[in-house]
Chain A
Amino acid sequence: NAGVTQTPKFQVLKTGQSMTLQCAQDMNHEYMSWYRQDPGMGLRLIHYSVGAGITDQGEVPNGYNVSRSTTEDFPLRLLSAAPSQTSVYFCASSPVSNSNQPQHFGDGTRLSIL
């Protein structure tokens, strides 16, 4: 019962490099989302998706791109990493929108930008 799987768990990048954070879920959840967690800031929503082919911006979308070609996968792309993007990133999924079902979270990706 894998749930939400995030890879990698840790990553160090240099400023200007690009990378993709992977997120996959095996629960057939329509709703998926990406958050970043910074000290004192809680979890801030980056992008979310209510189904395959549909994505939308959250609270802090600048510097990040997403796509949702399948129900299972929701990768987060950093096109040109900046030190301000150093953070812990969480991917989450939940059943159909407007639901009382909680989100299932991945274990997080700790990303450092030098």
Chain B
Amino acid sequence: AQKITQTQPGMFVQEKEAVTLDCTYDTSDQSYGLFWYKQPSSGEMIFLIYQGSYDEQNATEGRYSLNFQKARKSANLVISASQLGDSAMYFCAMREGGDRDDKIIFGKGTRLHILP
């Protein structure tokens, strides 16, 4: 069963608008972490933001914030005031397990296109 689901294969957003990229996850662990990465056309993986399962506040990093709804098992990425440089592939990832048995798995990604 897929553990990380990103339901939006592609999105088109007007520059300067806010955008929300969806991510839902499935785990039976109480302790887990959620990550968002950006992959521009050049191919490198760029870390954006992290949310721990025990964090009470939603994570924020500059223009990025994470809308974490634990009961719904969702961890949506919000990009405020989008820029042309935000055009890229975005991946949600989850670290589950613990101690010496954890692994990190990714969703299929969302390709974001920012329109001028």
How close is A71's CB to chain B, nearest CB, in angstroms? 14
Contacts of B35 in A (CB 8 A): 102-103
The residues of B with any CB-CB pair to A shorter than 8 Å are 4, 6, 9, 31, 33, 35, 37, 43-45, 47, 50, 52, 91, 93, 95, 97-109
Q: Which residues 27-81 of A sit at the B interface, judged by CB distance below 8 A?
A: 31, 33, 35, 40-45, 48, 50-51, 54, 56, 58-59
Interface residues on A, range: 20 to 34
B104, chain A: closest CB distance, angstroms: 6
Which one of B45, B50, B100, B107 contacts A97 once the chains associate, using CB atoms below 8 Å? B100
Q: Give the distance in Å from the alpha carbon of A53 to the alpha carbon of B42 in the complex.
A: 34
Q: A100-B50, A102-B50 are in contact. Are A50 and B102 (CB under 8 A)?
A: yes
Q: Are A33 and B98 within 8 A (Cβ)? A: no
